[in-house]
Chain A
């Protein structure tokens, strides 16, 4: 099973996580057109490449962001959304797989 590093709990097997989909910024609902909103709601950037994604560590209830390449399935870094501006991803805790 693939391993994923939760910024709070360290490296864990994928079975402990829930995939939350791509992290996306919504257009301004007050100013965008219906078409723009429909595109935001339904369309996805499905082409392979580096994505910012939501992942949820179920046992601890931690939502975090993973920067993952959807072609190689390699994760570049993971961090809490609140640490999004941190240059470096938080290192995994001392305990981890």
Chain B
């Protein structure tokens, strides 16, 4: 049995293109342009899904993505919105959340026992006895949820673009089209978006047997499409509103993040279902859904039906049904007495019986509850909200179209902070105070009549123009005339319930009543307790009715009940769209490919990728590190230190700046010498440390750790803003690279590449020299961080590979080898140097790592000084010490962050620990209580497995090079 109609004017399907697909194992044919639902409906398949909770059969309701009656999976993708997703050839579809298929879903038994599952039932059971809850939870989790996620679904790239416009018009219906055109005519850049595949909104389906809407549409479309400064985006929805008019527009292909100067919201209204028993049967649908089926897809909603209405709109629906060869046996008008609908006579002429002041008391289901077999109508007292069932009439039919009213599609207006008010003229929330630069037009603004909607678009456009400071005539706001489009309370009680308000969550009128009786009589509490509006359609078809019900329960006017907060997204939005392209920017030194080619294992430090160590094939990390370290101790090693933070301080006040910024003393620092710098915060906590080399009276060259370099430089800039000293800060981190050559052979190797006098006398520790190395200008810094004899060569970044290669060649006969940042950690440990961030944490102050602060406290000021003075008066809680494990220690090696314990007391923790092959001992740093800091005192470290290991406090450095190495004498 097919419900496909003959060709309709302006239909969205291409009847020359046939498509075949399967649903629940059966093959169906469709036309190109059909949605999955329209194709199935045309084929007479009406059970398209099962409901979330009771697994009731469901079909087309809004047919506009305002409900999730119909969710499908194609095996790959899930929760496919079949009402709006175009059917593709070869699709293999099934409904989600069924047990044994949509037709004979075994879970339908839940519907039968639904009285046992009242609202919030899960709060009231399953928790005693406690031990059984996991069992029940498992059942509940499995029965909840919609589709099954395919964990093999590929990661899809969706592009996210930025765009800008003067006016963003949301909704390409009558009001939106008219607004866009008038704004564009005035010369503005306009972007017009609509979630439907074609523009036009209700002009494409709300005809009521009248040709005018289509003429209006053709005219507007012609104007809009010929206007060069209008960008029309169809199949694209505005997903949410974000501050300063940022609105993401979502389409199949990705997201366009539009930053608009002004926004005109013409998003229309959602038709709301009247509530009566079995209003969820397949075949019971909204009037607008029936019209969409007819005019967009040439599909008959049903063969013989009843229209239940509470406004004039339902009469238009009835006419459209008649024009679609559908037998309309009755229009049931919930409004008392006669009404002014111009279509009344037409319908009567065409043999449609009008039941004025009647309601649909219930829809009658076929035996398998999968379709409508009839409807019971009876007089309705809409004051008392009772159905007078003694005069009920039963009419046989296979479908019901419902038109009881609307709710503003005001999500974005709410999100933007619009104050809404309830208008009794239209029985709808409408904008009262709009935020700057935002305007509303059309149904969302409470304007329903077509010519008024067109006019309202013009008004909104001219207001937008004036907001942007352009000339535009004042246009009077339209005012709704005639009968209200929405019924104040289209909800018919029924002692047997199953009268659904929220179709996503299977929520009935009684659920609200019960929730209120249990104290959840605040709209937000009611939402949370009943879960109304919390399903995937986010209350599009249910929030307004929920508000009306609560208002009635509490005997309050609707506006006093208020509404729940609107949040993004307007439609659920795919994670892949929101994520967009994966962008992970790293900083790489010019030696990165060399490191790669030599098997380096990389580690992320800040934004940088650094070589951590270079394992030979099959070599274990520790072996590699030990081997690299041994090279430094016995001959020479070299490391790419290009990621160090490097900052130049130029100017007369350079030393003064350092004096204030860091803990140390620099005023009297000799040109050509290096001093340690340590940065504290105002609380006296250690932030970072490094080395300041004085290149001239008015030039310091600062090198600091990779991790915090950016942050430290930022702070330097901030304090310079405050201090306004006479100097310039130049961040040369990216301009200069550094290579460190270290080890007993370092001097000899370097001497082959430079004329610089490297003798101890000429170039002792903690000195800086500027020279030329391997033909490259270099700043040579001699610091004893990893070895007493080591040289940091700071050279222009792009010259680093040249210098590196030169050192490799020069060092070849000494067996020089590269070492990585992990090896550097071991080397500096052997040298007894602590590392901020490793041996300190977010609260460590200099006193706790044994810095002698006295000489610094004499300074006029430095950051953190005042707090240090306070801390100095307080007893130390912990202190960092160097320790060794017993000689030839065997057994479980303690690890960094194992605790130093004494029975139940935590005394501290290990911050660094490693085996030093050089001295054949296990060495490290640990925090202990001040009582245990004396050299030779012993403390216990507890390993992962819980065994206690004795450690002895020792002096540093752990490794003392022969004086020969240091002096080179």
Contacts and interface: CB of A to CB of B under 8 A. Distances in A.
Find out whether A and B make contact in their complex, taking CB atoms under 8 A apart as touching: yes
Interface of A: 1-3, 18, 20, 26, 29, 32, 34, 37-38, 40-42, 54, 56, 61, 63, 73, 80-82, 97
A12 to B, nearest CB: 11
A86 to B, nearest CB: 15
B714 A41 contact: no
Interface string B393-415: 00000000000000000000000
Contacts of B291: none
A80 B243 CA distance: 25
B870 A37 contact: yes
B326 interface: no
A18 B722 CA distance: 17
A92 B235 CA distance: 37
B718 A37 contact: no
Nearest to A2: B243
Given A37-B867, A37-B870, A63-B717, A81 B683 contact: no
A63 B867 contact: no
Contacts of B717: 56, 61, 63
With most chain A CB atoms within 10 A of its CB, the pick from B243, B244, B259 is B244
Contacts of A26: 682
A80 B682 CA distance: 23
Contact of B861 (A29, A34, A41): A29
A74 B78 CA distance: 42
7 contacts: A2-B244, A26-B682, A29-B865, A38-B870, A63-B717, A82-B724, A97-B259
A88 to B, nearest CB: 20
Nearest to B861: A29
Contacts of B164: 97
B889 interface: no
A56 B718 contact: yes
B682 A41 contact: yes
Given A29-B861, A63-B721, A97-B259, A34 B870 contact: yes
Contacts of A63: 717-718, 721
6 smallest beta-carbon distances between A and B, as pairs: A29-B866, A2-B243, A3-B244, A34-B870, A63-B721, A81-B721
B708 to A, nearest CB: 14
A24 B246 CA distance: 32
A90 to B, nearest CB: 15
A34 B243 CA distance: 42
A11 to B, nearest CB: 9
A41 B718 CA distance: 17
A1 B246 contact: yes
B870 A80 contact: no
A82 B164 CA distance: 33
A29 B869 CA distance: 10
Contacts of B873: 34
B242 interface: yes
Nearest to B246: A1
B244 A54 contact: no
A18 B714 contact: yes
A2 B244 CA distance: 6
Nearest to A1: B246
A80 B718 CA distance: 11
Nearest to A65: B721
Nearest to B164: A97
A50 B682 CA distance: 24
Contacts of A1: 242-244, 246
Given A37-B866, A63-B718, 6 more contacts: A1-B243, A2-B242, A3-B243, A29-B866, A34-B870, A97-B259
B578 to A, nearest CB: 14
Contacts of B724: 82
Nearest to B244: A3
B296 to A, nearest CB: 37
Nearest to A80: B721
Interface string B233-255: 00000000011101000000000
A2 B245 CA distance: 9
Contacts of A38: 867, 870
Nearest to B873: A34
Contacts of A73: 243
Contacts of B866: 29, 32, 37
Contact of B721 (A29, A37, A82): A82
A54 B873 CA distance: 32
A81 B870 contact: no
Interface in B729-758: 731
A20 B870 contact: no
Contacts of A97: 164, 259
Contacts of B865: 29
Nearest to B417: A72
Contact of A56 (B246, B714, B722): B714
B683 A41 contact: yes
A37 B861 CA distance: 14
Contacts of A2: 242-244
A61 B861 CA distance: 26
Nearest to A58: B714
Nearest to B259: A97
A81 B866 CA distance: 24
B246 A41 contact: no
Contacts of B246: 1
With most chain B CB atoms within 10 A of its CB, the pick from A34, A40, A63 is A63
B718 A54 contact: yes
B841 to A, nearest CB: 18
A8 B861 CA distance: 31
Interface string B702-728: 000000000000100110011010000
A81 B682 CA distance: 20
Contacts of A42: 683
A81 B722 CA distance: 7
Contacts of A18: 714
Nearest to A28: B866
B816 to A, nearest CB: 38
B243 A20 contact: no
A18 B243 CA distance: 18
A34 B873 CA distance: 10
Nearest to B870: A34
Nearest to A81: B721
A91 to B, nearest CB: 16
Interface in B588-645: none
B849 to A, nearest CB: 20
Interface in B816-872: 861, 865-867, 870
Contacts of B870: 34, 37-38
A18 B724 CA distance: 21
Contacts of A56: 714, 717-718
Contacts of A40: 682
Contacts of A61: 714, 717, 731
Contacts of B867: 37-38, 41
Interface string B866-887: 1100100100000000000000
B644 to A, nearest CB: 19
Nearest to A54: B718
Interface string B921-963: 0000000000000000000000000000000000000000000
A80 B721 CA distance: 9
Contacts of B259: 97
B730 to A, nearest CB: 11
A1 B242 CA distance: 6
A61 B711 CA distance: 11
A82 B724 CA distance: 9
Contacts of B861: 29
A96 to B, nearest CB: 12
Nearest to A18: B714
Interface in B126-177: 164
Contacts of A32: 866
Contacts of A34: 870, 873
A11 B865 CA distance: 38
Interface in B672-686: 682-683
A80 to B, nearest CB: 7
Nearest to B711: A18
